Chain A
Amino acid sequence: MPPASSRIVLAKLGLDGHDRGIKVVARMLRDAGMEVIYLGLRQTTDSIVAAVEQEDADAIGLSMHNAGHLTLGPAMLAALDEAGLDVPVIIGGIVPDDDRPILDDAGVAAVLGPGASAEEVVTTVRAAIDFASAGGDETA
C-alpha cells in the first residue's frame, strides 16, 4: 500500500481577486508530493467547511489580502469549530507582526508571508499537519 498523500484545501477567502500567489503555493505543495484541492477565488467559510468535509482534507491554506485576516481568519476557525473539524489552518498573505498574536489566539496554525520560499511553505504545512495528527499535543 502506498503511503497516503497529504491533502490540503487551498482557497482565497474574501473578495479580492488576485490568485497569482495562491497558484504558486499550489504548485509548491504539489511538487512536494501533496494533493492540493484548489478552490480558487471568492470562497466563503461555508464552502471551505464543505470542501474539508467532502475531501477529508488534512489542512487548509487560506490566502488573504487587504487585511481580511483579522476578521476572516478567526471567522474561519469559528466555522470549523462549529462543524466539529479540527483541521490546521495556515494563512498566507501580508500579516503585520502586531496582528500575529490575534491569529495565534484564534487558533491559526501558522502564517506565511508573501516572500516565503517553497521550502518554508512545505515545511510549515507539513509541521502543521504532523502537529495536528499528533493530537495537537506539543509533547507528542
Chain B
Amino acid sequence: MSLRQVPIDQVIERALNGDRRAIGRLLSLVERGGDDAETIETATHVRARDSHVIGITGAPGAGKSTMVARLVAAFSAADRRPAVVAVDPSSPLTGGAILGDRVRMAEVDTTAFIRSVATRGHSGGLALSVPGSARVLAAAGFDPVIIETVGVGQVEVDVTAAADTTVVVVTPGMGDAVQANKAGLLEVADIFVVNKADLPGASDARRDLELMLELSHVTGQEDADHRPPIIMVNSLEGDGIDAVRTAIAEHRDHLVTTDRLQERRRKRARYEMRVRAELAFGAHLQRRLGEPEFAATVDSVAQGDDTPAAAARKLWQPYA
C-alpha cells in the first residue's frame, strides 16, 4: 500500500523508527510545506538536536558531490550514520529540474540516505524546507546530516551557513577563491577545501585563500578563536578526506567546548524565524494590497502623484 494513504501520525512513527520509505515520504511533505510540514516539525524538532549538521557549498562543478560521497563513506566506516540533502537548481522557466548529485554518490547510495532537492524557484520555500528536511533525517537517527548546495545565490549560501559546520569547496584555477569571496562564501566558511588538488594551480588557490583569510582576520570575523583550516583534497582518489572528516570533528568540538554551538543554533533559530515570518507577512501584505482600502493609494502611485516609498510606508507602518 502506498504511504500516501497512511495517516501522517503513522508515517511519522515509522520514520522515527528508521523506515526509509516513511522518511522519504516525510521529506516530500516537508518540502510541500503547510499543515503537514508543521506537524512533522513538531514531531522532529527536539529529537533532531544531537545530530551534527554540515553544510557543503562551492561553485557548480567544484566536486562537492564527489567529495560528499567520500565523506559519507568515511563517516560510515567510523560507525556514524550519515545522510545527505543535495540541492540543485530548478529551471526558472519550467519549474522542472535534473537532480544529478546521486550519480557521484553511487557507491554509498544504498547505505546512506540521500535526498535530492530542487530549489523550486521559491527561495523562501527552500530556506524552510532544507532545515526541515535535515531535522527529519536527524530525528530518524542520521548523524551527521550533510547539506550540499551550489554556492551561488543568497538563499543557497544562507541555507548552508545555517549548518553547525560549513565547508566551502574551491578548485584550482579560474580565480575560484576570488569568486568565493565575492559570493560571500569566505565569511561563512569554518573549513576550506581546495578540491581537485591533483590539478595544476592547487597551491595558488591555497595561497589566494590564505591571503583573503589574512585580510578578513584583520577586519575581524565572527568566530575569532577559530581560524578555518585549508585542506587539500583529491576527491577522485580520496586523498585528504580523512583530514576533512577530522577538521569537521574538531570544529564540532570547538563549538561545544566554547559554547558556540548554542550561538550557532541561535543564529539558525533567528534565520528560520525570520524566513517564516517574512513569508507569512509577505502573504499578508499581498492580501492587504488587494483590499479596497488601498485602491486609491495604488492608483496615486501608478499615476505618479505619490511615491512608492511613501505609499509602502502606509502599508507597513501599522506593524512597525
Q: Which residue of A lies closest to B27 (CB)?
A: A56
**A5-B118, A31-B91, A54-B20 given; A36·B96 CB < 8 A:** yes
B21 at the interface (CB under 8 A from A): yes
Which of B1, B90, B96, B110 is A32 in contact with, Cβ under 8 Å? Answer: B96
Residues of B within 8 A of A36 (CB): 96-99
Which of B34, B91, B102 is A37 in contact with, Cβ under 8 Å? Answer: B102
Residues of A within 8 A of B1 (CB): 84, 86
Asked if B95 and A5 make an inter-chain contact with CB atoms under 8 angstroms apart, the answer reads: yes
- Cα separation A45 to B34 with both chains bound (whole Å): 34
Which of A4, A32, A38, A47 is B99 in contact with, Cβ under 8 Å? Answer: A38
Which of A1, A26, A51, A55 is B98 in contact with, Cβ under 8 Å? Answer: A26
A17 at the interface (CB under 8 A from B): no
Asked if B32 and A1 make an inter-chain contact with CB atoms under 8 angstroms apart, the answer reads: yes
Asked if B106 and A37 make an inter-chain contact with CB atoms under 8 angstroms apart, the answer reads: no
Q: Which residue of A lies closest to B115 (CB)?
A: A54
Asked if B32 and A4 make an inter-chain contact with CB atoms under 8 angstroms apart, the answer reads: yes
The majority secondary structure among interface residues of chain B is mixed
The majority secondary structure among interface residues of chain A is mixed
Asked if A33 and B96 make an inter-chain contact with CB atoms under 8 angstroms apart, the answer reads: yes
Asked if A35 and B96 make an inter-chain contact with CB atoms under 8 angstroms apart, the answer reads: yes
- Cα separation A134 to B64 with both chains bound (whole Å): 39
- Cα separation A86 to B57 with both chains bound (whole Å): 35
Chain A interface size, as a band, is: 20 to 34
Which of B25, B97, B98, B110 is A47 in contact with, Cβ under 8 Å? Answer: B110
A95 at the interface (CB under 8 A from B): no
Most chain A CB within a 10 A radius of its CB, from B31, B98, B109: B98
CB distance from A125 to the nearest CB of B (A): 12
**A47-B109, A56-B25 given; A39·B102 CB < 8 A:** yes
A50 at the interface (CB under 8 A from B): yes
Which of B2, B20, B32, B94 is A31 in contact with, Cβ under 8 Å? Answer: B94
A102 at the interface (CB under 8 A from B): no
Residues of A within 8 A of B31 (CB): 4
Asked if A54 and B98 make an inter-chain contact with CB atoms under 8 angstroms apart, the answer reads: no
CB distance from A124 to the nearest CB of B (A): 16
A-B contact pairs, 14 of them (CB 8 A): A4-B28, A5-B120, A7-B28, A31-B94, A35-B90, A37-B116, A38-B98, A40-B100, A50-B20, A53-B20, A54-B20, A54-B115, A56-B28, A133-B4
User: Which of A's residues lie within 8 Å of B, judged by CB?
Assistant: 1-2, 4-5, 7, 26-27, 29-40, 42-43, 46-47, 50-51, 53-56, 83-86, 133
- Since A50-B109, A53-B21, A56-B24 are in contact, a sample of 12 more A-B pairs with Cβ atoms closer than 8 Å, ordered by chain A residue number, is A1-B34, A4-B28, A5-B120, A7-B28, A31-B94, A33-B96, A35-B90, A35-B116, A38-B102, A51-B109, A86-B2, A133-B4
